[in-house]
Structure 1
Amino acid sequence: MIPFSILDLSPIVAGNTATQALRNTLNLAQHAEKLNYNRYWLAEHHNMPGVASAATSVVIGYVAGGTKTIRVGSGGIMLPNHSPLVIAEQFGTLESLYPGRIDLGLGRAPGSDQMTARALRRNLTGPDTFPQDVVELQQYFQPDEDVNQFIQAVPGNGLNIPIWILGSSLFGAQLAAALGLPYAFASHFAPNDLMQALAVYRAKFKPSNQLEKPYAMVAVNVIAADTDREAERLFTSMKLQFLAIRRGKARQMQPPVDNMDEFWSEFEQAGVEQALRFSAVGSPETVQRKLADIIDQTKADELIISAPVFDHEARKYSLTLTAQVRDALATQQSEASLA
């Protein structure tokens, strides 16, 4: 069975604080480790009242320090916001502290709005340098004698830190293929180009020192509960969050509601449900059926699960049920191969 991993934005729920959100993140990562999830990734977003993972490298260190075996990384670092050297030093430090457990996923978007991007001191008028910045970052991790460079990332130089390209369009797929890097697609909120991007990535992939053949990870929203009705109710918190963002009024995660029709128009409903259509929400039986379809459809090498739930214990329980689904799918796959 393919590995299952976790994507977390350290959600700040209504009436709570970033302090509690970060403590919940560590607790969730420890729970995921016990359930044998493969990775635990944090995402960089800025100026978002409901997201506590803006200082992503710091949160990765916090999570890695509180766990023992699970891989911890970025899903992702928005590289245009940073100097490649600074990111090489940060992740070189993380790899030095937690060897063999750190992933570096890189995104091309700023993870913010235009005004926030300016506050991050980004050059918004210059050319797109993302491909060159990725190559520069790769060089900082090479042994000095291999590249003979005058500037070294210390820590970082000579360390084997897996780099991933993240994306929601064909651009990232083409870059990951050209550089021979693993590719993660953000289908949990931007599914439109998923199948075409996967096809382009696999068709154009060139082997590299890091990777011999394509490796594609697909993101999916998964919320599991004892019944379909309860899972769908829990999912309304995420729908409310997306609705608020689309209205330009991002806020902390809100508690679930019984009837979304009281909150959105038909037009808004269509937009939110289109963005979130790559989701498996329901009882374990429902989630198992939907995930089996997604794996069959995408031929993903790994799934990364986004599970934003208002109540922390309900979120942990959702991951527990999802792990049971993963194991059931593995058994199903094993039995099918023996038949």
Structure 2
Amino acid sequence: MTASDGLTYTPGELDRDATFYVAGHRGLVGSAIVRRLEAAGFSNVVGKTSKELDLKDRDDVFAYLGEVKPRYIVLAAAKVGGILANSTYPVDFLSDNMRIQTNVLDAAVANDVERVAFLGSSCIYPKFADQPIREDSLLTGHLEPTNDAYAIAKIAGILHTQAVRRQYGLPWISAMPTNLYGPNDNFSPKGSHVLPALIRRYDEAARSGASSVTNWGTGTPRREFLHADDMADAVLHLMEHYDGPEQVNVGTGSDVTIREIAETIGEVVGFEGETEWDTSKPDGTPQKLLDVSKLAEAGWTAQISLQEGLERTVAWYHDNVDRVRE
């Protein structure tokens, strides 16, 4: 029962027979969430590809949600990319994500969707936020300029879910993951995030017998990485155990340098050459480590180690190298 019915909402086990819409169900996070929901016994998980349903088209989004009438939604659909893509196409990252979010969340209100989990990104926090980054660091400083457009869109999504809670009393929540990786990631040289980009770069170098690999920046920035399957487990856990207006950080609570992650990936794929660093290219934020105390208080901690996660992801990449997204 929702708070809009005049009753107090108490988190608990979700109805396994209810319609559960995963927006972005083919992507890195969305596909992991579908796997987790099906493993948990949900019998009516639905989704549409971007070719079947353009979430930027407001009329189509309203028509689809009006047709399927989901009781629950995870909004994992987004236009995403690494430093190069974000800094090259800021208008696209702002406009596309704002439209996707606004359309899905407005249509969810119109169709009385009981429980929505909006997924954002750790880039919402200020570039020089105190480490580890607490949820209350939001809007306390300047953003990293290479991805500020994307960050602003995600901040707007958080505020949108909070506004729905205030205006309609619906128990919607937001979760902010750290850097994610895993099966169905984007391994494009121009559009991917750092970890899948490194996997592809080092794997291709190992296959070709290249003597060296060149990475952007100095290798000194520190990053936290969470496997998508852990993220999916955290999302379901939060939907069943957390109800509050503040976004919840989702991560491991530990980080490594880009140089360290590059070396580990090189070892996993069997690269035996040298690694060089192009210091003329930007590093991005010097460190992004999330404080996951709120998540731990809600009863969840990450289970997949970075080494295990990398081995699983590289194995998936090898099995799917001919059809990974370009």
TM over 0.5: no
TM-score under structure 1 length normalisation: 0.34
